[in-house]
Chains A and B, each alone.
Chain A
Amino acid sequence: GNSVTQMEGPVTLSEEAFLTINCTYTATGYPSLFWYVQYPGEGLQLLLKATKADDKGSNKGFEATYRKETTSFHLEKGSVQVSDSAVYFCALSTDSWGKLQFGAGTQVVVTP
């Protein structure tokens, strides 16, 4: 079956540090890939997405590239801020109706 594996957290960083969150997937067919972010006490917000191999999704300084050869979709940001503290979820969708399968989430804590 399909699955998403994320690096475990928490990831603790200082402000302006470089952030990488690893995400790998197993799927039949050609999934669409997503990163969602969940701030404390809130629902999920779409951060970025990519729908085919070599696509790069980007938003708010975050980037992720769909790597079919390594089945990965790692999230990166060059300089994090305290406001980036949240839980980040990698997800995939393989059907035409958009059902999402999520990883377990990675908590990121950015300190001043």
Chain B
Amino acid sequence: DAGVTQSPTHLIKTRGQQVTLRCSPKSGHDTVSWYQQALGQGPQFIFQYYEEEERQRGNFPDRFSGHQFPNYSSELNVNALLLGDSALYLCASSQDRGRADTQYFGPGTRLTVL
């Protein structure tokens, strides 16, 4: 059973560019959440997708957007990149059972903005 997968593993961009990160959830999971983990800090919640809609959002600007596809996979898009966007981006999946369920994390995508 494949766990949560993310691509690419590493990415280098320059300021002002746009980036798309991808996530495939664990088999049987229908909910995808994205987190940003800056160096030396705990992950911060960006948003959560369920039934192809953004269901919940953290304190991140509109430059951060996402999408969920019918097969439950998801993308995170960041526009107009800033140096401060350099971080490890983590995807987590879970199954919506009408209550909070354990989230399983992928290995992350390391984004470096120069």
Partner of B43, one of A42, A44, A45: A44
Distance in angstroms between the alpha carbons of A45 and B96 in the assembled complex: 19
Q: Are B100 and A105 in contact (CB under 8 A)?
A: no
Q: How many A-B Cβ pairs are below 8 Å?
A: 67
Considering the complex, give the chain A residue whose CB is closest to the CB of B58: A99
Residues of A within 8 A of B112 (CB): none
A-B contact pairs, 5 of them (CB 8 A): A43-B90, A97-B48, A98-B103, A100-B43, A105-B41
Q: Are A97 and B45 in contact (CB under 8 A)?
A: no
Q: Are B102 and A49 in contact (CB under 8 A)?
A: yes
Interface residues of B in 89-114 (CB under 8 A from A): 90, 92, 94, 96, 98-108
Extra contacts besides A97-B50, A100-B43 (15): CB < 8 Å = A43-B108, A44-B92, A45-B105, A46-B104, A91-B42, A97-B55, A97-B56, A98-B102, A99-B45, A99-B58, A100-B103, A101-B45, A102-B44, A104-B42, A105-B41
Distance in angstroms between the alpha carbons of A100 and B31 in the assembled complex: 14
Interface flag for A93 (CB, 8 Å): yes
Beyond A97-B55, A102-B42, whether A46 also contacts B102 by CB under 8 A is yes
Residues of B within 8 A of A104 (CB): 40-42
Contact indicator per residue, chain A 27-40, by CB within 8 Å of chain B (1) or not (0): 00000100010000
Residues of A within 8 A of B100 (CB): 32, 93, 95-98
Residues of B within 8 A of A43 (CB): 4, 6, 90, 105-108
